[in-house]
Structure 1
């Protein structure tokens, strides 16, 4: 009788082990209707009176990634932070450089000029002021921190190159015709 109970017990354990595999775990990826990528354009002028900062109130969800791009020319966007090396000209200091940078919290974003190694108001020509300080347009792109909802090493998907504005627009299927335009200072 003891041998029969032992075989029944081993059979039950074997049957349980065989019937419990993880090959039937199916993850269904649904459409996420509440996570929406957003784009906003902010145009402003950096000035000494504003501490070379353009500030804009925005509602930024804590689950979003904040990307900022500067309009360089036409439809060319350059990701910031970015160091700007200004060419040498007569009667101005040499090796002039500064950084476009930004900081943000859930209510505000500040785009600023940092780490300048020269005096901005006196050591820039009028053309350089027009190019680097006046009427600067920045595009703020808010994207979900984990757009795929997939985690773990087994399920990694190709990521997007955030330094390439066009790749970000394509990856997140952003509609550039719906960009909200804001005017700062």
Structure 2
């Protein structure tokens, strides 16, 4: 297609050249807006791949206060799994940790008392429940020790292969260093 030339005095008018110039200008503006800046933020505290254990000592249940909260030292991810164990005794082989919920029955098979728990990203709530908590031995109410084990979501698929009721199996499976258990006195 030929461009038409109009003469108006001494100025030549070429419409195709103006359109080409406008399109080239728009293309240059479009290319300059494609500049991409990238900001990298590094998380220096890697919470999502490290299992942790917190030990709460001197935990007491009193009449009117058979539920209590154990605050976490820091917020955990909502996808993390939390296991709570109660120190139930000891032997020559070491401490005996029982996974909550933990239930005790009378000889006739009826419920005597038990412990259960639930958790958030910030704390775990432990409940002591039963029929005669006031008459329950202080050995089950006072000076209790609990361990909270936080297992990151990245290990979620492997938990089916671990007997979570066995505290020592959990510690071994998730390579938790017992010397790094953080102790929190209530």
Category of TM-score, reference length = shorter chain = 0.5 to 0.7
Asked if residue 84 in structure 1 is aligned to residue 133 in structure 2, the reply is no
Considering fraction of residues, name the structure with more strand: 2
> Does residue 70 of structure 1 match 2:86?
yes
Deviation at 1:95? 4.9
Deviation for aligned residue 1:86: 5.4
Call closer, same or farther: CA 1:174–1:157 in 2, change over 3 Å: closer
The secondary structure found in structure 1 opposite 2:145 is strand
Query: 3-state DSSP class of the match of 2:161?
Result: coil
Deviation, 1:157, is 9.2
**Alpha-carbon distance change, 171 to 183 in structure 1, aligned in 2, over 3 angstroms:** same
CA RMSD of aligned residues (A): 2.5
Distance 1:103 1:159 in 2: 23
Where 1:120 maps in the other structure, the secondary structure is coil
Structure 1 stretches lacking a partner, 5+ long: 1-32, 89-93
Q: Which runs of 4+ in 1 moved over 4 A?
A: none
- Structure 1 length-normalised TM: 0.64
Alpha-carbon spacing, 1:97–1:178, altered in 2? closer, same or farther (3 Å)? same
1:166: how far off?
0.7
Please point out which of 103, 106, 129 is paired with 2:121: 106
1:119 aligned residue (128, 132, 135):
132
Which residue does the alignment assign to 1:56?
70
Bigger radius of gyration: 2
Q: Could you state the TM-score of these two structures normalised by the residue count of structure 2?
A: 0.63
Structure 2 CA distance for partners of 1:63 and 1:54, relative to 1, 3 Å: same
